[in-house]
Structure 1
Amino acid sequence: MDLKFDLDNARYALGTYDRVTIEGIAYRPTSSNEEGYVMATEAGAGLSRQFSHAQLSRLGAKGRLRHDPGYFLPDRAAKRLVASSSLVSELDPKSAARVSKKSAYVEAFRELEAEGKIKRTDKSIAENSEVLMARAVFYVRNLNPTGAGDPSKSYDFREQPSPRTMRRWLGASETFGTGGLIDAMHKRGNCSREMEPEAIGLMLEQVRGYLSRDRPTQKVIHENVQIAFRQCNEEREEDGLPPLRTPSRETVRRAIKALDPFVVKAARDGEDAARKKFRPVGDGLGLTRPLERVEIDEWTVDVITLMRATGLYDMMTEAELDAIGLDDSKRRWTLTLAICATTRCILGMVLSPSPKASAAVQVLQMVTTNKGKWSDAVGALSSWDMHGTPEQVVTDCGAAFKSEAFRNACSDLEIVFMRAAAGLPEFRGRGERIFGTIALGLCPRLAGRTFSDVVSKGDADPETRASLTLEDLSFALVRWTVDIYHNTPHSGLGGETPVACWRRLTKEWGVMPPPDMRRCRLIFGRREKRVLSKEGITMMGVRYHSKLLADWMMRKDPHKVDVRWHPKDIGTIGVRLGSDWYEIPTVFHGLEGVPAQCWLNAVNDAKASRPNATTFNLDAIVEAVHAIQQRNAEATQLAGLLVEDWGEERVAHTEQNVFLGTEFSRSEPDHPSDGEPGQAIPAPTSETSSARPSDPAAVKPRPRRGGGGFSIEEE
């Protein structure tokens, strides 16, 4: 399918301390102009290369551009020294469990602090420890994610943190986000000599001088520490005591960084400045850049009311209404929507039967995606190319936005996440008001929508007919957003349209690029454990293998490994080998960039056409996959607005009922006849050539014992 992207309107905002990785080569932006960026190689060999804005936009849309904001800043470099990873999504289970516990306690503390029920003092934290633990439990889905009978103290929720530890977690979270809670317990051990208690006290006495309205620099504090230790050691020498070891500049710097960020800001710049930094208010934000603040909210859609207005409800039977959950008990769906607070552009929307964490995460992914395929699918006259990585995301206090999945996704994308106070919609007023605009601007237009295509279906399958209902709603939402809302003068923009405001500000400021495909797979992908055997790894009937897996198998017996796969692209999966993640491609050519649903539809169609067959031609199915993508392009893209459910239960059910006992093979090419009577005898070949397989692409699946899918062997 050919998609149209307006690359001239996209411009990424890259800083001089950022790292940009393109085709495996790391660069650092050095300068920019109207045409593009000049970047120097990370190795610092003096080599530079130019990239136009169109080139960078094209690379970003394909997931081949990786952007690490502030990678070369000193504090980011120091954080990498003490953390085992930079992404929560790629942590091993035990490390992830520790982060989960810390994050839950931090979120619970902030919630209680906002309610005025706890303070950052030893006494207050100790007195409210039980309340804090009870509140923290609601922020995790699994209290024992590792499944250990006796969980470690570091991730056991029954082991409450001390007041000092709690404040340290809060400081790390406020400085680096959830990623600041990642530890490096694997580096534990006394690697160097510890400071004496007297030396620590002397150093901290000078470090507290950093909390001054004179705002001394860290260099000045280090010099004061050296002077204090020199004087102290002179006195100790007179008393016949051994000298104290003077701390290094790095030790002093770490001591300063360990101070409570709020206390530091209040002491150096005043309490008003501290409150403004750590608790932004809803009025007078002074937004200037696109994606500076993205507001995500949920709206309840009365689907039956909309269907009655269009007359479609009376055309459907009770069985058809039940097939899509439109009975009297489930008549309302949830629309999760993201809007740029600066330009008022709608950046993403997802329909789901109820508020779900998966819908919130899917909307966040849609914000980072060029949505040209959706606007093309409905034949929109304008483009929907607004995308990038937001600087800040603001939501309400709904359960979907409190979930670990959503909080971790924001952290891994390095997005500042803020929840507005409950009952105060003015904190996210733009998101609340947009739903009123939809109700007034979109709903009356649905009555004029033509549903002749639904009526003409006749006695088609009820689920197939019913699915067009939500497709029609998705069609209307996208077309109204792109062609009507974005091109209507907005009072909050002084009469300027949202699309014009986006174009003007992106040319002036740019936006942060979206995550590359590897990071996207780790953050938004589905998590599985799969058996790694000599055949490789099999997911949804697709086999993945590489030389890396083969080398790894030579050192280990068949065992389970962590796998990340993305429903939008089954051509490659992520596999953890040891402590690192690697990308493993499929051995089935032609599945690069193919969605899981499209692959499943092609296999189901093949089995429906030959119900008694157990072996199917793989080339024919791959060809059918691309035919389905071309033929059902509009429906396929609009289905992207519906929340995707590819959980472990659905995957296991699909593998058991669709792929178990099903064989694939690649037929050998037919050799043309030479035109002479009789059977042609091939010419003799050398010993070397005869030993080489003539067609290495032949594959055959073999069910694994115990069920739950199959693997595909090469013959």
Structure 2
Amino acid sequence: MSQTHSPKTGMRFIIHGCEFEITYVAHGWVRYAGTIGGKPYRIPYERFVEMQGSGSLQIQPQESARISAEGHALKISEQTEEETRATIRRARYVEAAIAQLTHPRSTKLLTAFIPALASQLEDATPPNPRTVCLWVKKYFDAGRIANAFVSQKHKRGNRTLRFPPDVEILITEGIQQIYLQPERRDCKDVLAFVVGKLAEQGVLTKGGTSLRIPTLRTIQRRVKALDPYIVARARKGKEAAERIARAAGRQVISPRPMFLVQIDTHYLDITLRDPDTGEVIGRPYLVCIIDVHTRVVVGVYISMLPPSATTTLAAVKDMLTRLGRGLPGGVPVKIIPDNGVEFKNSAFVRLCARLGIIINPAEIRDPNDKPHIESFFRTLTYFLVQKCAGTTFSNPAARGDYDSHRKAALILEKLIEYINEWIDNVYHQTIHTRTGRAPILAWKDATQNWEAPIFEPEEVDAIARRPETRTIHRGRVVVDHIEYFSHALATLEALKETRVTVLINELDLHEVYIEHPSERGVLIRAESTNPDYTHGLTWYEHQEAQKHKAALTESDRQRLGPYCDLLARWTLFQKIQADSTLARRQIARLTNGKGRQQPQIPAAPIEALSPLFLEQQQTIASVLPGQPSPQLPLLPGDLPSAPAGNAATSYEVIDLE
């Protein structure tokens, strides 16, 4: 069995190749966290020691070299300054007694020897001879081991029960059932629980009790001794507990500009008004991209749209086209988004894959992977947004009696102008506290000899779109209940290439691009069949309109009934069937079962017929020999009957006009 070590806070060990660090040890539990990421775990004390013995848990060599094994005396590195001095003092007395005395455990010899040795060691308070005798005995009993002089770790304080067992149980139950709950309860409530339970048991009365009752300070000490992670998890939730138990993490380093950028969405602390009606329309969203190496902002998009693929692509398109406007930007090597739904879409992934951008998503609810963009949001909030009229501040306590809605004065266009001006003229030209340089100057120096590709907005707009696969029908494709047409699509349909990829710009649904299925790089532009509705229409607005339409449809369906259309069709069908049956019966009765007779129209005199009609009759007679001339004029579409018994006779339709 391998040598085991007692778990101590800060000790690092390895399980299955992964490194962990102990963060808390108490009450028979060992809490530890991964050195990378900081995710917390718990394991019983006995299980920790058992895993060391089986070899599945290995203490790191540098840790075991400075930490004493289980059951052994503490090493000097584990002792306090006072304990270290006391250890060295014991060792000096024992070493001198063994070296100079024939009987180092003789009290008589030690009594005469200790004053002289104390004078040499300049020890103002020399130990008692019997004490030195015990030190020597301990040294020999340990087998002349040098660390036998080190004092064993002992637990200070009274370890006996301070209260009767019944009261101790009530204190533990009170902390579990009262204090470790999400409601805002304190130690006084725990003390009230203990007193109330004792009163229910009849132990506590108005006249007092013979039991010892804990004080409020006792409850507070018990609560303070709890694991802060357990307390935070019970009272505030798992995310809050992990945030408390996790360090800030390792520094994120980028070797050059546009090697690593961070992107995130922030809900701005300000209310805006509608430019036409003047009504308060709510708080806007900011999507921002920052370069880690220089701390410059390389992409911005501000809108009233909530976090979505639309706003994400808008910020990325701004980043890709900023170089053409003389602003910091370009194509990054790596991008770190969070795990929000706005970054988990095929359009964002497709664009990054096309440009060779590596996506490294941040951990859920972990700001350590993108601290620079979080720091920028805080700076923007404190130094600009909360200085504008209509700010909501960070929380109700900071807002006080400030009426954000009544004070709101800005419109979205003005806010965009202010933020862009603050970024370019204030933030970029202010010395950054972490880098020690102004971001814009650091960018210019780092990109002095850097020739980055410049993209036009039109070419970026053509590829930064959401792809959808659709089928061409009559030269049209339908996406989200909107029809798009192009004459080139009709040609593809005639060539049987009907399955195509439609690229949708979610900021403007008026037109789409369609990838040619057989010619790579060829894009076909298709316009909406309803331009009055789709001009300037965003995907978010269209979805809200569809929801409103669906709500109206559902309202009509509820008013008419869920099967109103089917019932109406069945009623009509029954009516038609009834009318048809009744008609047949009436005809049978009127005709005595012979059916309807065709009316006989008397023939017109020959002299009354026109020459053209006579010519037509002669033509028909020549075509159908042996057929008697008809007594009635032929109408367009009529054709005389074939001669009886002549099935092989062929007919030629002649245009009599």
TM-score over 0.5 (shorter chain): no
Structure having greater relative contact order (Cα 8 Å, sep ≥ 6): 1
- TM-score after normalising by structure 2: 0.36
- TM-score after normalising by structure 1: 0.33
